[in-house]
Amino acid sequence: MKLEIVASQLEAIGNPTRLQLYRILVRAGGEGLPVGGVQGKLGIAASTLSHHLKRLVDTGLVTQERQATTLICRAHYPAMQSLIGFLADECCADGTCPPETRRRTACEPAHQPRKQT
């Protein structure tokens, strides 16, 4: 994954409103939520929600699909997994992971015993 894409995605979810919005969509699962449902959960103006959704769509973290007159928003799970993977894939690659890190599922693949050479 390109560093510029990761930086853009992290910047997008670095805003508290967008992070809350993104978590709402992640929780919604594959069905997603209509814009009105998201707005009801966030309690923000439609124009503000539109601005934040556009930023998440532009970074690839959210997709939108029109169903008749309803706009459905969904977390783009492959993008989320790529972002998480970018952050965790090389966990402890240059050292030994501390015990508290070993409990985290994101790092589990990196915790295979290393062969001594």
Q: What is the pLDDT of residue 102?
A: 55
Q: What is the pLDDT of residue 90?
A: 82
In a domain? residue 88: no
Residue 21 sits in a domain whose CATH number is 1.10.10.10
In a domain? residue 104: no
Q: What is the pLDDT of residue 25?
A: 97
In a domain? residue 59: yes
Q: Tens of pLDDT along the chain (117 residues)?
A: 799 999 999 999 999 999 999 999 999 999 999 999 999 999 999 999 999 999 999 999 999 999 999 999 999 999 999 999 998 888 888 878 777 765 454 444 444 443 444
Q: What is the pLDDT of residue 50?
A: 96
In a domain? residue 103: no
Q: Residue 86: which of 22, 30, 2, 11 has the closest Cα?
A: 2
Q: What is the pLDDT of residue 111?
A: 44
Q: What is the pLDDT of residue 108?
A: 47
Helical ranges in 1-117 per DSSP H: 3-13, 16-28, 35-42, 46-58, 77-88, 99-102
Q: Say how many domains are in the chain.
A: 1
